[in-house]
Amino acid sequence: MNGGIEPTVRLDGVGKVYGTGVSAVAALRDVSHAFTRGSFTAVMGPSGSGKTTLLQCAAGLTRPTSGSVSVGGADITRLSEAELSGLRRHRIGFVFQAFNLLPALTGRENIELPLRLARRRPVPGRVEELVGRAGIAEHVHRRPHELSGGQQQRVAICRALVAGPEVVFADEPTGNLDARSGREILGLLRRVVDDLEQTVIMVTHDPAVAAHADRVLFLSDGQVVNVMEAPTAEAIAAGLGIH
Ligand code: ADP
Ligand code: MG
């Protein structure tokens, strides 16, 4: 259930300007939003509207020019680079359009890599539980090139979840998949939100993909211009001006 009201990620008046002087670009302007625990949010908007910048600011990959970002109650805009990289390693999961698995490692080794990098032992049974949930238990002994795109993305989702993060960020996670594999990935993200009370924030261009989320943030020119609850593909398409 999406019962929690405690925000996992909170943006307060976030602005981001790239460059200076005449070449300055305001990618985000005064964005405030609380992403609640156990919620699934899609971020949409035209190319150049600031979607990637919003994700990167929320994930501590880019520092905002103004405003603040908190993750799990901690203001991350005050952290040093070392503290930020520790936070990303322990409390934030990422899923990328291009999967970004290491080709020389098996699926299981890819999933366990964040723990090895953090010098943490897996919680007993945790990896088995994740790969079972993702339906890839029989496949994780293989290397990425021996897996389908959908299987590789399921490995990547397990890797994002293995350290028990506060929040998982996904940038076009179905962008490289066929429609059927894409639906399976969205079903998996939906279940991790519902069953594990995980928080997922996903950028997508596709109304049918965004319709799996609990709400959609629409960005235009660096600002949140609309928030749609319980979205349907039709309502999203209308909101984007697609008829
Ligand atoms: P979206 O993901 O919605 O396409 P972005 O967040 O990538 O939008 O970009 C928002 C605006 O910021 C665009 O005008 C883009 O050109 C600009 N921008 C993004 N990244 C940089 C950067 N590293 N340096 C300069 N301008 C950037
Ligand atoms: Mg982008």
What pTM was computed for the model? 0.93
* Domains within the chain, CATH numbers bracketed: 9-240 (3.40.50.300)
pLDDT of 1 reads: 43
Distance 27 CA to ligand 1 centre (A): 6
Question: Which residues sit with Cβ closer than 5 angstroms to ligand 2, an ion?
Answer: 51-52
122 φ/ψ angles, rounded to the nearest 5 degrees:
-65, 140
**How do strand 40-44 and strand 215-220 relate by DSSP bridges?**
parallel
pLDDT of residue 3: 46
The rounded Å distance from CA 24 to ligand 1 centre is 11
CA-wise closest residue to 129 among 144, 140, 113, 117: 140
pLDDT at 122: 80
Nearest CA to ligand 1 atom 21: 18
Closest CA to 44 of 231, 206, 229: 206
- Which residues are 113's β-sheet partners? none
Q: Identify the sign of the CA torsion 129, 132, 136, 142.
A: positive
The pLDDT assigned to 243 comes to: 59
The atom of ligand 1 lying closest to the CA of 46 is: 3
pLDDT (0 to 100) of residue 123: 84
50 lines ligand 1 (CB under 6 A): yes
What gap in Å lies between CA 5 and CA 204, rounded to an integer? Answer: 24
The rounded Å distance from CA 87 to ligand 1 centre is: 24
The whole-angstrom separation of Cα 117 and Cα 104 is: 16
Nearest ligand, measured from the Cα of 53? 1
Structure tokens at 234: 């039709």
What is d(CA 3, CA 198) in angstroms, rounded to the nearest whole number? Answer: 11
DSSP 8-state assignment for residue 188? H
For residues 126 and 163, the answer to whether their CB atoms sit within 8 Å is no
Protein residue with its CA nearest to atom 13 in ligand 1: 48
Which residue stretches of the chain have pLDDT < 70?
A: 1-5, 242-243
> How much is the pLDDT for 90?
87
With contact defined as beta carbons under 8 Å apart, do 61 and 221 qualify?
no
pLDDT at 80: 94
Please write the tens of the pLDDT for every residue from 112-129. 999 998 888 888 899 999
